[in-house]
Amino acid sequence: MTPHFLSIHFLLPFILLFTTITTTTLAQTAPAPAPGPPPPTNITKILEKASQFTTLLRLFSITKVGDQINTQLNNSKSGMTVFAPTDNAFSALSAGTLNSLSDQQKDELIQFHVLPTFISTTQFQTLSNPLRTQAGDSTFYNFPLNVTTSGNTVNLTTGVVNATVANTIYTDGSLAVYEVDKVLLPMNLFGPQPPAAAPAPEPVKKKKKNGDDDTPADSVNSTSSAVDLRVGLHGFIWGLIAAFIAMLCL
């Protein structure tokens, strides 16, 4: 071997060691890439991942409530809460229940399952009834939704059906999705209708006295005036006759 080749062979391990140290140092000092923004919350993807919510997803699509929830979530700081009935819950409804509803009624039904604020599991114990849903008016014959708790059990009642929160599907501090074992049927669509307003009372009729008839007062007054006129005229004529006779006797 030549002296030049021996020098390179002797220095090769040091060159490799230097290269390794340099590469490791650069890798440690290079800043890590900044994490990208989290993807927007999507209720549809959450329910698809959880499975067993095919019917609810179909109604979300028909009514556009799914898009509405996603939009509100990404433009509001209040958050939202969704009560999600399973496919088994929808199957338990009477045959033709959903098909009998108009598009507006389907929208009201699904909006009734959505609260416009984020509710954690611990907050259910301190809520005031009735809850305000996206369906609107929460008075008795419209869209009342009440919550009660017993230990860790959360029950919901609509006045038509009682349901239980069976599981937490998703929660991130902005959106909470809870599985419920029954479809929440609102009073406005499935409950008894409010009682009809009482009819206005009829005008009170005065009781007739003995001898009274139904002759209008104006007619009675007119008749009385005519009689008085005739009596007065007869008296005047007889007065003239009496005066004439008295003159003859003079």
Residue 213, both tokens: 């008839």
pLDDT band at 101 (very low <50, low <70, confident <90, very high): very high
Residue 7 backbone zone (phi > 0: left; psi -120 to 50: alpha; other: beta): alpha
What 3-state class would DSSP assign to 233? helix
The proportion of the chain whose per-residue pLDDT surpasses 90, expressed as a percent, equals 57
17: pLDDT strictly greater than 60: no
Compare 199 and 115 and report the one with higher pLDDT: 115
Render the burial of 5-20: b for 16+ CB within 10 Å, e for the rest.
eeeeeeeeeeeeeeee
Q: DSSP string of 3-25?
A: HHHHHHHHHHHHHHHHHHHHHHH
22: pLDDT strictly greater than 60: no
192: pLDDT strictly greater than 70: yes
141: pLDDT strictly greater than 70: yes
pLDDT band at 20 (very low <50, low <70, confident <90, very high): low
> Which of 83-97, 147-161, 201-215 is predicted with the least confidence, judged by mean pLDDT?
201-215
Taken in order of first residue, the domains within the chain and their CATH numbers are 43-190 (2.30.180.10)
Kindly report, residue by residue over 200-234, the tens digit of the pLDDT: 677 776 665 555 555 554 544 555 555 455 656 55
Q: Torsions phi, psi of 175, nearest 5?
A: -125, 135
> Tokens 């979300």 appear where?
60
Alpha helices (runs of H) in 181-216, residue ranges in sequence order: 187-190
Q: What is the mean pLDDT of residues 230-250?
A: 61
